[in-house]
Amino acid sequence: MLDACAELLDEVGYDGLSTTRIAERADVAIGSVYQFFPDKRAISQALTRRNVELFVARVGRRFISEEYGGWWDAVDAIIDEYVEMHRSVPGFKSLRFGDAVDLNLLDAGTDNNTVIAGRLRGLLLKEFGMADSERLDTSILVAVEGGDAVLKLAFRRDPDGDPEIIAEAKTLVRSYLSRQLRDFNASASRAAPGARSGS
């Protein structure tokens, strides 16, 4: 049913989606759809969650299988996975991480990009040993919001993503996070015991 929903989203969009169409495409009785999903929003929500899990898994696999010079290369890999999913995963370009339907589709109390930022934060903390802090949380959220906005522009300009704009998205996110982490590390050094005495 989720696969059928994804295919239909690409063909008719969210407005043209219906539980009846999903049942017909999945070749199941409409009652089978309602057994799991009360309406098209619920099935779109389930598909969005699957997209998030797939995205995080794909990024995680890249982190394991590829060598990075630092977190900045990981940022490029994260953006590359988003772009590849937009191009190749059915339903993703229509739904992305749910923002095309509802900014709170993933979690009623938290907007979708905050959920995504939290997942990416976990990956970066695990792989690159960044110091956990509220400031890091805010910085990653702002980077996700900024990168997301520029990537949307890339796909508005070109259905496959304008390469120049995608490159600019990488530059934007890397530059912003570099400055934030540099400022954070400088503040941490000044606050450390003995920092003024040079010990």
- Give the residue from 115, 40, 136, 117 showing the smallest Cα distance to 78: 117
Between 72 and 151, name the one with better pLDDT: 151
Residue 152 main-chain phi, psi, to 5 deg: -60, -40
Residues 6+ apart with CB under 8 A from 34: 19
Q: Considering the domain boundaries, does residue 24 fall inside one?
A: no
d(CA 89, CA 94): 10
Q: What tokens appear for 74 in the block?
A: 């990981």
Question: What's the N-to-C CA distance of the chain in angstroms?
Answer: 63
pTM: 0.77
Q: Could you give the number of structural domains in the chain?
A: 1
pLDDT exceeds 90 at position 84: yes
d(CA 131, CA 191): 14
d(CA 24, CA 35): 15
Q: Considering the domain boundaries, does residue 25 fall inside one?
A: no
At 109, the pLDDT band (50, 70, 90 cuts) reads: low
Give bridge partners of residue 110 from the DSSP assignment. 107
pLDDT exceeds 50 at position 48: yes
- The string of pLDDT tens digits covering residues 119-145 is 777 777 776 666 667 877 888 888 888
Between 87 and 190, name the one with better pLDDT: 87
CATH number assigned to the domain comprising residue 111? 1.10.357.10
Owner of token pair 């759809």: 33
Q: Considering the domain boundaries, does residue 179 fall inside one?
A: yes
pLDDT exceeds 50 at position 117: yes
Q: Considering the domain boundaries, does residue 180 fall inside one?
A: yes
Instruction: Tell me which residue range forms the domain holding 103.
Output: 53-190
- Give the residue from 21, 7, 169 showing the smallest Cα distance to 93: 7
Q: Considering the domain boundaries, does residue 37 fall inside one?
A: no
Residues above pLDDT 70, as percent of the chain: 80
Q: Considering the domain boundaries, does residue 160 fall inside one?
A: yes
Amino acid at 174: R
Amino acid at 102: D
Q: Considering the domain boundaries, does residue 72 fall inside one?
A: yes
Q: What tokens appear for 150 in the block?
A: 């520029």
| Summary mean pLDDT of the chain | 82
